[in-house]
Homo-oligomer: A and B are copies of this chain.
Amino acid sequence: MEDIGDYEEVKSLKSLKMEKGLLYETIVTTLNGEGEGNAAPIGVICKSPKEVILYLYEGSHTLSNILATGNFTVNITDDPILFTEATLGDLESDYFIPYSEYLILKGASSFFTATMKKVKSIKRRDRYGESRLFIITADVKRICKGKNFKEPLNRSIYAIIESLINYTRINRVENKGDIIDRILEMKRVVDKVGGSREKMAMKMIIDSLRTKLDQQSNALQR
């Protein structure tokens, strides 16, 4: 087993600033039955200080590896190159560090190992068609916090900021439909990944937008 570097073991996902109910953007590493490594960007929901939930679509390596071995590692990073290479499929084996029955992503600012305890599959229809979705609940095993700890990425505050940027443009643009569509898209992001304060902020933005548009349309009718 290689030296994994400068990490301190902690007891709860709270120590990684992960909050119950929120979804974080991470890179999940897994091994297949033959011991070959895989890394993919995956949203991980914090269910409790020692439990997480993953939503995985049929056909992904991450899913088949977790179903085969029961194990996975959640790696926390904000490195854009790691996210990009994990998505484009270019992560070579020298990015991985073996760690007991797990694999760690080199450069992760923190990571934790997990073991599947429940799996449920449902059919899901979205705007892109029908697919089978697997909902995996897992117990968190060992949590290692890096000396150079960075908080896990949650997209909701950025969805709020992008909504606000669009909100301030509403008076300047002809095509208000695009702005409204974009804000509603950001609302879907917040509903999926955000906490109660982000959801409250989104409600304020949409209420204020509605009032503004009503006033403009009343003014036009006069």
Contacts and interface: CB of A to CB of B under 8 A. Distances in A.
A83 B160 contact: yes
A78 B201 CA distance: 12
Interface string A138-160: 00000000000011010111101
A88 interface: yes
B201 A83 contact: yes
B80 A156 contact: yes
Interface in A186-222: 197-198, 200-202, 204-205, 208
Interface of A: 25, 41, 78-81, 83-85, 87-88, 128-129, 150-151, 153, 155-158, 160-162, 164, 167-169, 172-173, 197-198, 200-202, 204-205, 208
Given A81-B197, A84-B205, A129-B172, 15 more contacts: A80-B197, A80-B200, A80-B202, A81-B204, A83-B157, A84-B164, A84-B201, A85-B204, A87-B167, A88-B204, A128-B173, A153-B158, A153-B161, A155-B158, A155-B161
